[in-house]
Chain A
Amino acid sequence: MKLDNIYQEEKKSNFAKVSEIIITMASRPSGFIGLSILIFHVILAFISPYIAPYDFKAINPTLMLQAPSAEYWFGTDDLGRDVFTRTILGGRTALTITFFGSLIALLWGGLLGIFCGLVGGKTDDIVMRIVDAFLSIPWILAMLLIVSLLGTSTEVLIPALGFFYGKGIVRVARAATHDVIAKDFIISARARGHSNISIIWHEIIPNVRDAILVEGAMRWSWMLLGFSSLSFLGFGVSPPTPDWGLMISNARGLMSFAYWSVIAPIVGLSSLIIGINLTADAFAKALGIDRSTKAPV
């Protein structure tokens, strides 16, 4: 009877826990700003195809580089396309690709890290050396190489980004696993004869989940930064798809007389990255995880 009660409380509190975390996050000014920006961008990504005033790829030579006006709120670009339309559509690809990329990074990085932390010994040594080696190759070199050889389709970008941003999570997950591995409940689970998989699932994951999730949230903003850098360099989304990185790189050459076509995507991209960053920070603080001394690897 008593046990039943405990379980029911557990179950009820699951939804409550999530909303409690969100409320804690929003109670700080920086967390509130971050969450609002992120939610704004996500909503915008969903509704933008329906509210876009013009066709994003409609080229009109008579409307080249028009200054912002009542008709074209953010002006037009060098091909006469509406900058406002392209700006509100410009985050969709980036958001989708980096969101799924972070999920992949979270999954493989987290699981491999937990596994290494639990198993230890030779396997751990070898895996960590390989992870170290991958960490020491600049991500941009590796990504550019992959993209230039395999193409820039979504099926290439998502796993490639997921792989390269997951190797940092391996370290975090491994360190978090090391923190819990010596605790009594793991030892008693071993004594009960649980298998490694069962221990990982029932004992370790609930304890390291927060640290890994926070790391994943942070990676999301870095991945967005990396992805838009790729687009900016011409190795990401291919034209005419509207994408902020690509828009900035196209409009950059003409910005001495058409600054509006570069300012709009800059505001879009910066606000989204800052929004995700502040949200991830607030998320970490709400879960009580200190990542202030972590370097951006």
Chain B
Amino acid sequence: MLFLIIKRILLGLITLFIVSLITFVGTEILPGDACTTYLERQAFGEQLEACYRRLGLNVPAYERYISWAVNAIQGDFGYSLSGEMPIKEVLGPRIKNSLVLASAAIFIGIPIALILGIVTALWRDKLPDVAISTVTIFAMTIPEFISATLLILIIAIWLEWLPGIVIVPTDVSFFELLPNIILPVIAIAMIMTAHMARMVRSSVIQVMASEYVQMAILKGVPYWKMVFKHVLPNALLPAINVVALTIAWLLGGVVVTEVVFNYPGLGRLVIESISNRDLPTVQALAIILASIYVSINLLADLMTLMLNPRLKTLQIRK
């Protein structure tokens, strides 16, 4: 058990190491370095030299990688090019804002997804299932920017219930942020809920078709007792991993949603730093987003491991 956990953590660390190599080599191989892409046409003579010196680009690549990696482990990602301030300070409030958004969406999304998933599975192919499933398929297939745009059009412009875009400074306090995040949270939660509800639905359907549930029905176990005692515990366990993957997948989608709502989170920072050709910030973002992805997956794996006695003795799933 302990061995499995350690092995899983090690694998995660190896993945992160490869991610750091990929981002570093990637920005190295692609034409132009941080200075020439940032300075664009002014990239010559003294200015370029100064930029090289400032970023330490005049030493060989492997030395730079090592010093970058050593600093990054300690949470120091160097200086951003555009703002001329430490990336750590740029990231701090952005991470907080994105975290508020994501946790609100998860907090609302998971209970709704569970209820919808179970309802659609238990009333499979009946009216509630067909109605809810149609809506969830719509919600999960259309792009984030479309659902977000439609939300703004209908709720903010036509009904005038809520502000359409977020106009707050990056380091705003939590309570000032709250009314502004309702629409973005709905936009994100909608897609996430739809995905998770589909997963829960198929998971419950699979368990309902299993032999021990058939047996319980034959034995005459009351329907709801059977559902709560036999079906749900077994159906929700595999859903944990899928929920984790869905959350991790949303990291990409959040970028677009944040841009639509002008929300000062990590996602918009991605766009801003790429538009400004600020490669040091991009590298830092890549490693941070990858760490979030890896740790969410790790957490989900460990949770399944803890909750499932059968897995304790088995080799962990690759």
Show the binding face of A for B, using Cβ within 8 Å.
Answer: 128-130, 132-142, 144-146, 148-150, 221, 225, 228-229, 232-233, 245, 248-249, 252, 255-256, 259, 262, 266, 269-270, 273-274, 277-278, 292-293, 295-297
Contacts and interface: CB of A to CB of B under 8 A. Distances in A.
Given A137-B23, A138-B255, A150 B141 contact: no
B149 A225 contact: no
Contact of A137 (B19, B195, B203, B245): B19
B210 interface: no
B150 interface: yes
A256 B206 CA distance: 46
B199 interface: yes
A64 to B, nearest CB: 19
B254 to A, nearest CB: 9
B224 to A, nearest CB: 25
B143 A293 contact: no
B313 interface: no
22 contacts: A129-B15, A133-B19, A133-B22, A136-B15, A137-B289, A138-B293, A141-B252, A141-B285, A141-B286, A145-B27, A146-B30, A228-B143, A229-B145, A249-B145, A262-B153, A266-B150, A269-B143, A270-B146, A292-B199, A293-B238, A295-B245, A296-B249
A132 to B, nearest CB: 5
Contacts of A137: 19, 22-23, 286, 289-290
Contact of B141 (A136, A245, A248, A277): A277
B14 A129 contact: yes
Interface in B246-303: 246, 248-249, 251-252, 255-256, 259-260, 270-271, 274-275, 277, 282, 285-286, 289-290, 293-294, 297
Q: B146, B259, B275 — which one has the most chain A CB atoms within 10 A of its CB?
A: B146
A278 B31 CA distance: 40
Given A136-B16, A229-B143, A277-B137, 8 more contacts: A129-B11, A129-B15, A136-B15, A141-B289, A149-B32, A233-B259, A295-B241, A296-B195
Interface string B232-245: 00000010011001
B65 interface: no
A136 B293 contact: yes
B256 A229 contact: yes
Nearest to A143: B252
Nearest to A290: B202
B199 A130 contact: no
Interface of B: 11, 14-16, 18-19, 21-23, 26-27, 30-32, 37, 137-138, 140-146, 149-150, 152-153, 157, 195, 198-199, 201-203, 206, 238, 241-242, 245-246, 248-249, 251-252, 255-256, 259-260, 270-271, 274-275, 277, 282, 285-286, 289-290, 293-294, 297, 318
Given A137-B22, A150-B31, A297-B245, A229 B15 contact: no
A283 to B, nearest CB: 15
Contacts of A134: 22
Contact of B282 (A136, A141, A270, A274): A141
A138 B150 contact: no
B149 A266 contact: yes
A217 to B, nearest CB: 13
Contacts of B259: 233
A293 B153 contact: no
Given A140-B255, A145-B282, A295-B199, A133 B15 contact: yes
B274 A273 contact: no
A293 B294 contact: no
B142 to A, nearest CB: 5
A136 B18 CA distance: 10
Contacts of B294: 136
Given A137-B19, A150-B31, A144 B271 contact: yes
Contact of A273 (B16, B30, B142, B255): B142
B152 to A, nearest CB: 8
A34 to B, nearest CB: 10
Contacts of B199: 292-293, 295
Contacts of B242: 293, 295
B188 to A, nearest CB: 14
B162 to A, nearest CB: 14
Contact of B157 (A255, A270, A273, A295): A255
A229 B144 contact: yes
A187 to B, nearest CB: 23
A293 B203 contact: yes
Nearest to A249: B145
B289 A138 contact: yes
Contacts of A255: 149, 152-153, 157
Contacts of B143: 225, 228-229, 232, 245, 269-270, 273
A145 B142 contact: no
A138 B206 CA distance: 31
B121 to A, nearest CB: 11
